Amino acid sequence: MDFALDEELRMFQKMFRDFAQNEIAPLAETLDREERPPLETLKLAAEQGFLGAPFPEEYGGSEIGTIGYCMMLEELGKVCMSTAMIIEVHTSVATMCIYLDGTEEQKQTFLEPLALGEKIGSFALTEPGAGSDAAALQTTAVRDGDDYVLNGNKIWIINGSIAETFVVFAKTEPAKKQERGAWGITAFIVEKDTPGFTVGRNEKMTGLHGIPVTTLFFDDCRVPAANVLGGEEKLNQGFATAMKALDYGRLGVGAVCLGVAQGALEAGVQFACEREQFGGPIALKQAIQNFIADTATEIEALRYLVYHTAWLVDQGQKYTKEASMVKLFGSEVADRAVNCMLQTHGGYGYIKDYPIERMYRDARVSRIFEGTNEIQRFIIAADILGEKGLKIRP
């Protein structure tokens, strides 16, 4: 088993690290304070090919593979979770839907500008009554001539106010169901200027102040039939597209969480070596040493889980269970890491002068979005018990 990075991946890792430290880190506190997205940084990231990192060059991507993509998210997550998650959602779920199931014409029309970073993408699945039970969505799409007419609302949509291309899920056959999976849900590519489509205000959140999270409104929104993702042969099969993209997205979230945990550890170690109490640095105290040792151990375990799962993706193997494990473990490791390192800072960790305060607020939501950790536990258990012939329900 060879865990060594080849020369190309080491080169990419250095490029990602340098970009994160030089371009993203200096703005992280400003974005948090001003509650605005990092538009200037996203433009620079697009020029570096970050927004199309895992996609083929023929569609404007950088073609660095999933391992390289996770390296990028890890480095971005170390310094600014908001920036990392904007890029993760754009790439892992929104653009990935089009790459996985779009027609060739749709890939040329929509995927290429997204991969090049000329446009930002968003993924619109969640609704007021359809969170963990995503198949319970109520947004409808009814055929009318050459269009589908969409009506309904979406909530908690990341990138809502900065995106120009949205992958939206709506019911086209609400009465139909299949025994396995959800039937009657279709994915649509909706552009920002489509009549009848309105983006709501940015939500005020506890953390991730640099991410625009909005409600979307569809009021007799007319979408060309040509924008059915995958063509009309994929009609009523959009839920499968969403689940495939969310597998990749959960791996992406885990990679971001790996970076958040590593960034928190580095901040905690630095503070512990500089802060003096009882005649010496607090790093000499066993309680602080235990925080550091336990956090570092969990980070290493997460690192191997992230990159093993990324390797499975690049090998074309099934990885749904592993993606849920990455998301579950990654979000909890990040949460514990920032908590322990804030405690290491003592009172200083609870004021805005230190980055660990922002990290603490940002990390908490990772146990909720792209599938709550409770849902991840269900997915993992369902896979394992399914091998024994036992089917379970949430």
Cα 129 to its chain centre, rounded Å, is 22
Asked about 370 being catalytic, the answer comes back as yes
149 sits in which H/E element: strand 147-158
Pairing of strands 121-124, 165-171: parallel
What percent helix, strand, coil does the chain show, rounded to 5?
Answer: 60, 15, 30
Neighbours of 40 (CB within 10 A): 10
> CA Rg, the chain, in Å?
21
Cα distance between residue 97 and residue 117, in whole Å: 16
Phi, psi of 301 (to 5 degrees): -60, -45
CA nearest neighbour of 219 among 161, 124, 139: 139
CB within 8 Å of 298: residues ≥ 6 apart: 261, 333, 336, 337
Residue indicated by tokens 């899920």? 169
| Given the residues 63, 370, 374, 387, the one annotated as active site | 370
CB within 8 Å of 321: residues ≥ 6 apart: 379, 380, 383, 384
Give catalytic residues, as residue numbers: 370
